[in-house]
Homo-oligomer: A and B are copies of this chain.
Amino acid sequence: MDGSSDTVRAEALCPVHGNPVESICAQCGIRHISVCAALDSSELRELEAIMGRTYLAAGQPFVFEGDPVEHAFNVVSGGLKLFKGLRDGRAQITGYLLPGDFLGLPPRGTYTFSAEALEKTELCRFPRVALKRVFDKYEKLQDRFLTVVHDDLIAAQEHMLLLGRKTAMERLCTFLVRLLHRTERVGGVTAPLRLPLHRTDIADYLGLTVETVSRTFSQLRKSELIRLEKADRVFVLDRARLEAIADGT
């Protein structure tokens, strides 16, 4: 049930600072890294007109494989994991979304994966049909979405290499290095680096077990390549080495 959870229509309040503003999107903290970056202020206003918001609690299931896609979403704060499962409970996280990331484009009408909130999460929401109209009007948005999907595909190919051919140590280093890159790109804090996923989820993302993930973290700690403040706060002590391990060198 796409977007069934607690939602509100867009109001004249800044989603980040909470104070009233003329244009919500113009003030949005993640706009510069999201799809909306392609738009100027008048186009933004048009998008805003059809926008709503959705809030999720930590661990709250959000979409299920097979659900019809009725809305598109942009993550404002928090995060989501996207995953596919086998009937016996085995699961593979195919990706996770952090602030600025987009969900729900599918030209196909139903979701091909499930999604769940990693923590308290806020999304802005667009009805697909209305979004389609804006799409058709602004060619560059179309372009932008093609790029988004294509980037996802590139990431997926990279991840297939990881899942098919890398060792546990290589997988974890790749995960850390990628997270480091992303955090830098969006201007976040990298020391300590905050891990958006729990051990179980990291395991499901990297195609390993929790125990192996934990053991590998310990190895990295003992080799002094990282320092763990808390389970989800990592100081990267030797980035070059981490990167080298990540690409199998």
| Chain A interface residues (CB < 8 Å from chain B) | 82, 84, 86-88, 90-92, 94, 105-108, 112-113, 136, 139, 142-143, 145-147, 149-154, 156-161, 163-166, 204, 206-207, 247-249
Contacts and interface: CB of A to CB of B under 8 A. Distances in A.
Given A112-B157, A153-B156, A156-B156, A164 B106 contact: no
A157 B107 contact: no
A95 to B, nearest CB: 8
Nearest to A85: B161
A72 to B, nearest CB: 13
B86 A248 contact: yes
5 contacts: A90-B248, A94-B156, A94-B160, A108-B147, A142-B146
Contacts of A164: 92, 163, 204, 206-207
A87 B139 CA distance: 40
Contacts of A248: 86-88, 90
Given A150-B106, A156-B153, A248-B86, A94 B161 contact: yes
A210 to B, nearest CB: 14
A142 B149 CA distance: 13
A135 to B, nearest CB: 10
CB-CB nearest 10 A-B residue pairs: A164-B207, A156-B156, A163-B163, A86-B248, A92-B164, A92-B161, A94-B157, A90-B165, A84-B161, A107-B147
